[in-house]
Structure 1
Amino acid sequence: MNGAADDRERAEELLLARISATAGRARLGRRRVTYRAPLTGPWRRRSVTAWLRYLLRADGGPARSPASRLDLYEHGLTVAVGRRMHAVRFDATVVRRCTVLTSRGVTGALVLVDVQGARVVLRRGDFARSQEWWSVICGAVVAAQVPRALDALRQGARLEFGSLWVTADAVGSARTSLRWSEVQRIEVRNGFVAVRADGRRLMWATGASGIPNLCVLRSLAEHLARAGRDDD
């Protein structure tokens, strides 16, 4: 095996060891799929030795570097960017949707909170197959958090989602509220969250980027609105 291949294998082993240790500490379970950052620009022309030197740097580097990697697990995910490593648990994170300005223009991003309380920004295009991992992450957060939220609502809790609040009987904001039997759906329109009620009534909320766990809110709304209509 030549030196370049040896360097590449060593770099991969070191990165995988760090990822596995991070996932183990966060109890993320079994790894399911890996998404790597696409290699673009000058990185395509750099040697494997330069790649290894970058990987071992103390200060990390840009998100679109060869060391960038997103791994999805049973109970969460890890994000590796240079020397920076994040672990996120689906049952504990807060996820927001936003738009960010990049060198390629405006794009969508998921902003999550890791197990240390730090923000993790996953931009479309940072990793391969963006539509796939975006959907999987949102679905996994919903699956992990909605059952617990429903149990809390049945016990009389009031859950806050930014400017919106939810109980077992109604959804509301500071100015108005609607019973679930009146609600058709919660939708995102022109960057804003709207609660659509029977007829043409809409209860507008804040911008979608200001709603934490919007995917959880929409899943709860679908369940509670359907249950409210069935009870009438």
Structure 2
Amino acid sequence: MTEGASRGRDEELLLARISAAAGRAHLGRRRATYQAPLTERGIWRTAAAGARRLLRAGGRRRPGSGGRLDLYEHGMTVAVDGRIHVIRYDTTVVRRRGVLSPRGTTRAHALIDVNGERIVLRCGDFGHPEVWGPEIRRAVTDAQLPRALAALARGARLDFGPVWITADEVGSRRTSLSWAEVERIEIFNDSVAIRASGRWLVCGTVASEIPNLGVLHALAGHLAGAERDDARSPWEPWSCS
């Protein structure tokens, strides 16, 4: 069997395994696929920092084994070096991170898969991060927002790391404000800032400590009636620029 035919067979087997894993997790229809970048020699680059995080200790590079990110209706799969991770939008936890790369510091997305394992995706680990990044953010927010709003309506308190909210208030550490006072909640110099009564109150909470930042932002928009502008919003955690 030629090298090209062998690689094609490997890709077919990988796709079958990915489809089976997605089916077991009820992820629905596949919407898009993003491949790991090719090196100058045409070999899949699977030994990036993101891949090592997936493999954890003892991981080894297998040239030509490929890597791909598949987005589905209700979740996503991440396949690197033959290992497949499944993530559901309605149950995952997403945090933004700054991680080292060969070109310096880049943004990354840390997610929790269905087995409770943390998966780190750097912006350069798969092609077109400017497309799949915002799509993941939107999908997670859309999947989790209705349940969060229902919980608040029942009187629950929701914790986003050091930030907490109820239907009436938002708080962090010893600070709390009623939603009637809040005009906007934004990220300022990587800290959470609340604009209330025409003044900014910086909570001193690092944005990377906050899980599901997009969900918190959407809830703030509902509860504070803040005007939302995704085109310039500093809450946007997925830009690779």
The answer (yes or no) to whether the contact 1:98–1:109 under 8 Å persists in 2 is yes
Name the residue aligned to 1:99: 98
Q: Which has the larger displacement, 12-21 or 34-43? A: 34-43
TM-score (norm: length of structure 2): 0.83
- Partner deviation per Cα, 1:99-158 (whole Å, 9 max, x = no partner): 001222100001000000000101001111111111000000000001100000000000
Quote the Cα distance in structure 1 between the aligned partners of 2:44 and 2:71: 29
Name the residue aligned to 1:6: 5
The answer (yes or no) to whether the contact 1:43–1:66 under 8 Å persists in 2 is no
Quote the Cα distance in structure 2 between the aligned partners of 1:63 and 1:77: 23
TM-score (norm: length of structure 1): 0.86
**Shift in Å at residue 60 of structure 1?**
5.6
Question: Where does 1:71-150 land on structure 2 (aligned, <5 Å)?
Answer: 71-150=70-149
Question: Where does 1:202-213 land on structure 2 (aligned, <5 Å)?
Answer: 202-213=201-212
Q: Summarize the Cα distance change of 1:73–1:121 in structure 2 as closer, same or farther, 3 Å threshold.
A: same
Question: Where does 1:151-170 land on structure 2 (aligned, <5 Å)?
Answer: 151-170=150-169
For residue 24 of structure 2, what is the amino acid of its counterpart? Answer: R
Q: Specify every segment of 5 or more residues in structure 2 that has no aligned partner in the other structure, as ranges.
A: 46-57, 227-241
**Shift in Å at residue 190 of structure 1?**
1.6
Q: Summarize the Cα distance change of 1:120–1:94 in structure 2 as closer, same or farther, 3 Å threshold.
A: same
For residue 113 of structure 2, what is the amino acid of its counterpart? Answer: D
Figure out how many residues of one structure are paired with residues of the other and give that number. Answer: 214
Q: Which has the larger displacement, 8-17 or 110-119? A: 8-17
Name the residue aligned to 2:219: 220
RMSD: 2.2
Q: Specify every segment of 5 or more residues in structure 1 that has no aligned partner in the other structure, as ranges.
A: 47-58, 228-232
**Shift in Å at residue 92 of structure 1?**
0.1
The answer (yes or no) to whether the contact 2:44–2:63 under 8 Å persists in 1 is no
Quote the Cα distance in structure 2 between the aligned partners of 1:166 and 1:36: 38
For residue 193 of structure 1, what is the amino acid of its counterpart? Answer: V
Q: Which has the larger displacement, 92-101 or 185-194? A: 185-194
The answer (yes or no) to whether the contact 2:191–2:204 under 8 Å persists in 1 is yes
Q: Which has the larger displacement, 206-215 or 180-189? A: 180-189
Name the residue aligned to 2:67: 68
Quote the Cα distance in structure 1 between the aligned partners of 2:187 and 2:89: 22
Higher helix share: 1
**Shift in Å at residue 6 of structure 1?**
2.0
For residue 99 of structure 2, what is the amino acid of its counterpart? Answer: V
* Structure 2 residue matching 1:204: 3-state secondary structure: strand
**Shift in Å at residue 45 of structure 1?**
9.9
The answer (yes or no) to whether the contact 1:60–1:81 under 8 Å persists in 2 is no
For residue 115 of structure 1, what is the amino acid of its counterpart? Answer: V
Name the residue aligned to 1:38: 37
* Structure 1 residue matching 2:180: 3-state secondary structure: helix
* Structure 1 residue matching 2:27: 3-state secondary structure: coil
